[in-house]
Structure 1
Amino acid sequence: MIIAIDGPTASGKGTVAAGVARHYGLKRLDTGALYRAVGLAVIDVGGNPSDEAAAVAAAKALDLTAIDETRIRSSAAGLAASKVASQPAVRAALLAAQRAFAADPAGAVLDGRDIGTVICPDADVKLFVTADLPVRTERRLNELRSRGEQISFEELQAQIAERDRRDTSRADAPLRQAEGAHLLDTTHLSIEGAVEAACRLIDAALARPGA
């Protein structure tokens, strides 16, 4: 079983994906982490994430088992991720690894921005997770401050809005709700409530004839 979960920054898709994976006993891949890691790798060598050659080289050298989960969650890594993710050659370099992960017969949950549209268009269940911009900003702000990173609400909201614009307007694999994807708005949901709502949608989809 493949479950594809897409959505914008801080919508809760990663939290939902982790909860869904635990609930169904499936492995999970946060594909956004791949782009964050690539962007950070470029920055680490003094490069510019907008430099396609540097970004592609970082993508081809990426070790999925050695991603620093703490460092990639910074606001700088998030901005770098949106820049490298807009480059078709970078997306192509990471495509095979993502599809190989999804192809495991044991099943998988993948979350990102193009899972239901590009990576796994034939996924058994697709979800599109969203939330209002101010709520997403507050969530990410709390996350960053918990790690000691200081940034104002206004600056962070502008960054997230810019990333939304870049993600939805890029020519290659833009962020959008995939055909057949179930919409899950987490604006007013707790973590537990969001995971429960996602599992209800998945159970209902799997119970339909032909699922």
Structure 2
Amino acid sequence: MGAESKSQQGGFTVAIDGPAAAGKGTISRAVAAHFGFAHLDTGLLYRAVGRRVLAGADPVAAAQSLDPADLAAPDLLRTAEIAEAASKVAVIPEVRAALVDFQRAFARRAGGAVLDGRDIGTVICPEAEVKLFVTASPEVRAERRLKELREKGFETDFDTVLADVRARDARDGGRATAPMVQAADALALDTSAMGVDDAVAAAIAAVAARRGT
């Protein structure tokens, strides 16, 4: 059965994985908007759990009781402290298991969906019609994150942000459950030397080719 036929029957999934600050969120939102697909930043699920944990909740209980309302104010979930907490709870197998069903149901919703995260193409949606792995050098990603944090009023420096980026990469790539790795059939998109428009255009072209449009 072709990808277009599967899409018409209720599911065309684009899985976009990669490390922090590689540009996958921007690319995912643009791809979703271009094709009229729904978009889920799966990292927000872990950030929402992380925020609950910082408030004193048990990680597993927080994941099992997560509510869509917890994702209603995404900007409040994008602090460095919550990002750190999210990375830590994401290594807990019971937390990941609690969030799998939500993500898989979203992925096969009618009209198509784009999901971005760390293990979408390998674990959550291994049969996704399109898989992209968006990456960039740690130094480039640290520069991007530093700019983002400063624009939001957070005071920090490059060395601190670079250390955080590398620590997150180590945790995400080294965890025993669902480590961040490029799926064998994913298209690698290195954005280190790419502008936003070029990166988005490359991703859209990949999806369009798979859909036959």
Given that 2:48 and 2:70 are in contact with CA atoms closer than 8 Å, whether structure 1 keeps it comes out as no
What is the aligned counterpart of 2:13 among 2, 27, 42?
2
The one-character-per-residue Cα deviations of 1:120-152 (angstroms, maximum 9, x if unpaired) are: 000000000000111101111111111111111
1:53-132 aligned at under 5 Å gives the runs: 54-67=58-71, 68-132=73-137
For 1:51, the equivalent position in structure 2 comes to none
1:12-91 aligned at under 5 Å gives the runs: 12-45=23-56, 54-67=58-71, 68-91=73-96
Letter in 1 for 2:160: E
What is the aligned counterpart of 2:170 among 154, 165, 169?
165
Letter in 1 for 2:64: K
The one-character-per-residue Cα deviations of 1:41-79 (angstroms, maximum 9, x if unpaired) are: 11023x5xxxxxx11111112122332312211111111
Structure 1 residue 207 displacement after superposition: 3.8
Given that 2:50 and 2:89 are in contact with CA atoms closer than 8 Å, whether structure 1 keeps it comes out as yes
Paired with 1:113 and 1:122, the residues of 2 have a C-alpha distance of 16
Q: Does 1:146 align with 2:146?
A: no
Given that 1:34 and 1:64 are in contact with CA atoms closer than 8 Å, whether structure 2 keeps it comes out as no
Structure 1 gap ranges (5+): 48-53
What is the aligned counterpart of 1:193 among 198, 203, 213?
198
The alignment partner of 2:126 has SS state of coil
Paired with 2:68 and 2:104, the residues of 1 have a C-alpha distance of 13
Paired with 2:186 and 2:152, the residues of 1 have a C-alpha distance of 34
Letter in 2 for 1:21: A
Paired with 1:17 and 1:70, the residues of 2 have a C-alpha distance of 17
Give the paired residue count: 201
Letter in 2 for 1:11: A
Equivalent pairs: percent with the same residue? 51
For 2:142, the equivalent position in structure 1 comes to 137
TM-score (norm 1): 0.92
Structure 1 residue 191 displacement after superposition: 1.5
The alignment partner of 1:10 has SS state of coil
For 2:182, the equivalent position in structure 1 comes to 177
For 2:6, the equivalent position in structure 1 comes to none
Structure 2 gap ranges (5+): 1-11
Q: Does 1:206 align with 2:211?
A: yes
State the Cα RMSD in Å.
1.3
4+ residue runs over 3 A deviation? 205-208
Given that 2:38 and 2:112 are in contact with CA atoms closer than 8 Å, whether structure 1 keeps it comes out as yes
Paired with 2:69 and 2:115, the residues of 1 have a C-alpha distance of 16
TM-score (norm 2): 0.91
Structure 1 residue 96 displacement after superposition: 0.7
Given that 1:115 and 1:121 are in contact with CA atoms closer than 8 Å, whether structure 2 keeps it comes out as yes
Q: Does 1:11 align with 2:22?
A: yes
